[in-house]
Copies of this chain bind each other. A is one copy, B any other.
Amino acid sequence: MDETASTEAPRPNLAAVAALAGVSASTASLAFSGAGPVSDATKAKVLAAAAQLNYAGPDPRGQSLRRGRSGIVGVVLEDSVSEAFRDPMNIATLDGISDAIGPSGSALLLLTDNAEGPSSFRSVPIDAVVLIGCSTRLADAVHVFAQRGVPIVGIETEPMPSVLAVDLDNRLASRRLAEHLRDLGHRDVTMVTLSLDAPHARGWATPEWEARSEGYTASQRIAGVRDVFPASSAFVSSASTVDEGYRAALEVLASSERPTAIVAQSDLLAVGVIRAAQELGLAVPNDLSVVGFDGVRLDGIAPIDLTTMVQPAFAKGRAAGEGVLALLAGEAPAGQLFDSEFHLGATTAPPQSARTAHH
């Protein structure tokens, strides 16, 4: 009975409703949108006809075409949905965007980077798009959107013309962490970084690999640490998870020259690093200092007071959302740069050498 329905009930039209109500289509339209002047009587007639025909109101597709707006804002994430949402920062950012554009009646469309699906970027009816920490290789997608006149906001993306930037002081913040470690007396610091490319490889960073990095944020944070420790090495993780931090730390701490401190590029990685250290019998911070990045609320994850840089993820999202609204309104908003805040936790201390020297 749910078949093609043959000739019965061809989904009703505004025109059909208008005809039944004995008015013109435009009048019926006004009756629904409530915009123009329509007598209560005819309005009632139209609504009655609609009810009789089981008409649910104007077709959104027609409205989109006519208005030139779909009421949809795209959000481009790297990787799959689940991978992207494993990171609380992404969720907070998304929430911020949602919070900002919600009042305008727009909804968020999830677009993933990796998928070269048939209809991916090219054929999606979006009014604007937000890039969340996407890799460099999105350049062509950016071009398509720009050409189409779709406003683009980039959160922590490489600066590009036609992309409104909502950025974070990644380099400065990382430098700040490195300085903290240096001031404590550390000289031997190793990084555990976020992913550098799409295949999500894992392993020790090489100059070549770093050079062709597609991870803007990761590269910025590496640069910040290198500002202080130019020779520090880096182990590239494949994702921002506790598990990856754990795996990375096992390798880092097994290397012949064990560092006295590890700079993890996210709090989740840092938690994994600490777990690995403890498992290897290293006390944090006495045997090993660890710093993170993000300022995730770890309440539910681990009872650790991490030394880290707290970044305003929700505010970043809000700013991106407001940027979208401004661009859609035809304004020319300026990009924004957000600052992270240093949080001194209980995971950093002077290295053994410094302390033994003092004794």
- Residues of A at the B interface (CB closer than 8 Å) are 2-4, 11, 54-58, 60-65, 68, 70-72, 74, 80-82, 85-86, 91-92, 94-95, 98-99, 102-112, 115, 117-120, 122-126, 144, 147-149, 241-243, 268, 271-272, 299-302, 330, 332
Q: Assuming the A-B contacts A107-B109, A110-B98, A300-B243, are A54 and B147 also in contact, with contact meaning beta carbons closer than 8 angstroms in the complex?
A: yes
Check if A111 sits within 8 Å of B107, measured CB to CB: yes
Residue in contact with A148 in the complex, picked from B56, B95, B102, CB distance below 8 Å: B56
Residue in contact with A71 in the complex, picked from B91, B123, B302, CB distance below 8 Å: B123
- Give the CA-CA distance A242 to B298 in the complex, in Å: 11
- Give the CA-CA distance A2 to B327 in the complex, in Å: 10
- Give the CA-CA distance A47 to B71 in the complex, in Å: 30
Q: Assuming the A-B contacts A105-B120, A107-B109, A243-B299, are A2 and B332 also in contact, with contact meaning beta carbons closer than 8 angstroms in the complex?
A: yes
Residue in contact with A119 in the complex, picked from B94, B105, B268, CB distance below 8 Å: B105
Give chain B residues whose Cβ lies under 8 Å from the Cβ of A241: 300
Give chain B residues whose Cβ lies under 8 Å from the Cβ of A58: 123
Give chain B residues whose Cβ lies under 8 Å from the Cβ of A86: 91
Check if A106 sits within 8 Å of B91, measured CB to CB: no
10 residue pairs bridging A and B, Cβ less than 8 Å apart: A55-B147, A56-B148, A60-B126, A61-B61, A65-B65, A74-B107, A81-B98, A82-B94, A102-B117, A301-B301
CB distance from A47 to the nearest CB of B (A): 14
CB distance from A51 to the nearest CB of B (A): 10
Check if B124 sits within 8 Å of A102, measured CB to CB: no
Residue in contact with A64 in the complex, picked from B11, B65, B82, CB distance below 8 Å: B65
